[in-house]
Structure 1
């Protein structure tokens, strides 16, 4: 059994090393903005789907602390990709929006996540994701970095009026994805126990304000 543990750990370590090389090669070939799943490129990818967004909402979407987000935004501002302006409704809220340069920035990495997992069938990808979820849950518990359901639900309800269902689905399903199966499970659990809100539906039964979601704080460090 111990040999199995050692072998699995070695494979995980090798996978981590290869993924890091994958990212570094992509960064070197296409620049920090090209990858829509990491760092500054990840911020741009969200802003291209959600034109104006508060820094609080953005930090939840990215799953990082406000301080880490500010570091990314400072770099993007210096390069002329984004601007931060106070909300007209509440000056305490800072809104992030893309500049023309940011809107025109091309994001396309030749080393994308699809190429990594294309060797697995959809069923194998789903099973692999569940195995990773188990490992992540154990590590989060050991390290004290667990999802706060109350904080998640509170943010979700407060943000409901800011984004719509279709927009959330676009964010969740975009290439590279920001969320794994646990987000889907958590939202399904949340919506299943929450009574319907008549203000959230149009006459056809469609969501007007939609669902919102939070994220883990510093689930993984953002790259530069």
Structure 2
């Protein structure tokens, strides 16, 4: 049996899942006035928190290097999605805070992802979908990270 006749492997399935979710997320976001975003912005946008995060925390969560995250943050700041503010706990540090535009995008993104997850859970059933998520978190080492729920 040739490679093209084999069932999709983990890499192919993961890519289909990511690119499908990302495509839908960015398409719907653009329809709601957020058409200035690009998929690479997702490395930061996925981890924004209304209480703010330090850049090193964003870098760790995104699994990217400091320079890449810094460049993405610069772009998002110019586009009006985030701002850097002094961290009240450590005046030498900066918190990355979503602006009002960033918060609106976060709310919309949470709704879109919740709709996608609801659709997926209807395909396989809630119990199987929950098992899938637990398994995926274990495989990716994400079981200790909080799960974002719609606001």
TM class, shorter-length: 0.5 to 0.7
> For residue 7 of structure 2, what is the aligned residue in structure 1?
8
Q: How many residues align?
A: 137
> For residue 20 of structure 1, what is the aligned residue in structure 2?
19
Matched position secondary structure for 1:70: helix
Between the aligned partners of 1:83 and 1:11, the Cα distance in structure 2 is 37
With the length of structure 2 as denominator, give the TM-score of the two structures: 0.59
Question: Aligned pair in 2 of structure 1 residues 19, 62: CA closer, same or farther (>3 Å)?
Answer: closer
Question: Aligned pair in 2 of structure 1 residues 12, 56: CA closer, same or farther (>3 Å)?
Answer: closer
Could you list the per-position Cα deviations for residues 51-76 of structure 1 after superposition, in whole angstroms to 9, with x for gaps in the alignment?
Answer: 22211122223333222221221121
Runs of 5+ unmatched residues, structure 1: 137-146, 148-168, 177-224
RMSD: 4.3
Structure 1 residue 116 corresponds to structure 2 residue 109: no
Between the aligned partners of 1:120 and 1:100, the Cα distance in structure 2 is 36
Question: Which structure has the greater CA radius of gyration?
Answer: 1
Greater relative contact order (CA < 8 Å, ≥ 6 in sequence): 1
Between the aligned partners of 2:91 and 2:14, the Cα distance in structure 1 is 46
Question: Aligned pair in 2 of structure 1 residues 116, 19: CA closer, same or farther (>3 Å)?
Answer: farther
Structure with greater helix percent? 2
> For residue 135 of structure 2, what is the aligned residue in structure 1?
130
Deviant stretches of 4+, over 4 Å: 131-134
Between the aligned partners of 1:87 and 1:116, the Cα distance in structure 2 is 39
1:172 aligned to which of 139, 146, 150: 146
Between the aligned partners of 1:79 and 1:20, the Cα distance in structure 2 is 23
